[in-house]
């Protein structure tokens, strides 16, 4: 078995909102070229964890290390520049700009920054990669829902991140789109990207993740392969206690 170096580590990462402990002393490592699924019932702290990693929210306690760099107290732009890119649960694109311009923005502000022609060439390549190569000049308002998701993904990829965070990227897709979406994420996985994904779609988790970290009420309750964690008693109990189970 090949060794995959650790790219990102959470050590005791904690987030409190007043009296609520949304993320409770969370530990896990993300390895290079691996896909880690962060799963758990609604409200278990998954999105908050992504927000701690990306710097959107400051951690209350603990530390987050990217390669050898402590990123715990850094602002989101600095973390993006060091190589963490993300997509959002509710797509965030600039509606007054074209598809291509949105993705160029990702190339300009990401980990490996490019300008002018170089940014454009790279943005075109990423848009091709996600199947949007023929829709470069459309406005964001003209896109179908899955296409906005594709553009957001291309924008995240355009900065050549060391770690890509996907926050329920597949949510809201219809069954046909879901198949396309899973195939697209799988192809990124096969490219050897390092990905942390928060996802509720179990088939996607099974087919995409090398490792899963399962959260319940802010705490990690299991970690392992999808097969192992999804047959774990405590995990099943956590999900059955949830309305969505
Ligand atoms: N900004 C905030 N202020 C106060 N409480 C918050 C805030 N953000 C999240 N929470 C609370 O923290 C807990 C964890 O929420 P979080 O959104 O991280 O869960 P989740 O696992 O991502 O849920 P879902 O699967 O529904 O997206 C919840 O109880 C939520 O209400």
* pLDDT for the residue 62: 98
Q: What is the ipTM of this complex?
A: 0.96
The atom of ligand 1 lying closest to the CA of 200 is: 25
* pLDDT for the residue 108: 77
176 membership: H or E segment, kind and range: helix 175-190
* pLDDT for the residue 1: 54
Superfamily of domain 1-83+162-244: P-loop containing nucleotide triphosphate hydrolases (3.40.50.300)
* pLDDT for the residue 2: 62
123 CA from centroid of ligand 1 (Å): 33
Which of 41, 43, 86, 215 has most ligand 1 atoms within 8 Å of CB, for mutation?
43
* pLDDT for the residue 245: 43
The C-alpha atoms of residue 48 and residue 1 are separated, in whole angstroms, by 33
* pLDDT for the residue 44: 96
pLDDT tens by residue, the chain, 245 residues = 567 899 999 999 999 999 999 999 999 999 999 999 999 999 999 999 999 999 999 999 999 999 999 999 999 999 999 999 999 877 788 888 899 999 998 877 777 788 888 789 989 999 999 999 999 898 898 999 999 999 999 999 998 899 999 999 999 999 999 999 999 999 998 888 999 999 988 889 999 999 999 999 999 999 999 999 999 999 999 887 755 44
Ligand 1, atom 10, lies closest to the CA of: 22
| Delimiting residues of CATH 3.40.50.300 domain(s) in the chain | 1-83+162-244
The C-alpha atoms of residue 167 and residue 200 are separated, in whole angstroms, by 10
Neighbour tally for 216: CB within 10 Å? 21
Cβ(166)–Cβ(197) below 8 Å: yes
Contacts of 18 (CB under 8 A, 6+ apart): none
Ligand 1, atom 25, lies closest to the CA of: 42
59 CA from centroid of ligand 1 (Å): 14
């Amino acid at each position: 078995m090949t060794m995959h170096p650790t790219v990102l580590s959470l050590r005791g990462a904690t987030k409190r909102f007043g009296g609520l402990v949304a993320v409770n002393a969370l530990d896990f490592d993300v390895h290079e070229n691996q896909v880690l699924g962060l799963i758990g019932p609604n409200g278990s702290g998954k999105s908050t964890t992504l927000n701690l990693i990306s710097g959107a929210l400051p951690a209350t306690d603990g530390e987050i290390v990217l390669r050898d760099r402590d990123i715990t107290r850094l602002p989101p732009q600095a973390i993006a520049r060091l190589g963490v890119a993300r997509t959002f649960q509710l797509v965030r694109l600039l509606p007054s700009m074209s598809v291509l311009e949105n993705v160029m923005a990702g190339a300009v502000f990401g980990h490996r920054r490019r300008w002018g022609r170089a940014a454009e060439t790279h943005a075109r390549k990423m848009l091709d990669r996600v199947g949007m190569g023929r829709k470069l000049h459309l406005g964001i308002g003209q896109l179908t829902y899955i296409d906005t998701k594709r553009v957001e993904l291309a924008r995240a990829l355009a900065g050549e991140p060391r770690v890509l965070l996907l926050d329920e990227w597949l949510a809201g897709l219809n069954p046909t789109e879901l198949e396309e979406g899973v195939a697209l994420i799988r192809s990124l996985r096969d490219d050897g990207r390092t990905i942390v994904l928060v996802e509720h779609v179990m088939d996607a988790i099974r087919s995409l993740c090398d490792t899963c970290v399962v959260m319940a009420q802010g705490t990690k309750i299991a970690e392992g392969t999808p097969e192992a964690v999804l047959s774990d008693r405590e995990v099943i109990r956590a999900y059955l206690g949830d309305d969505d189970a």
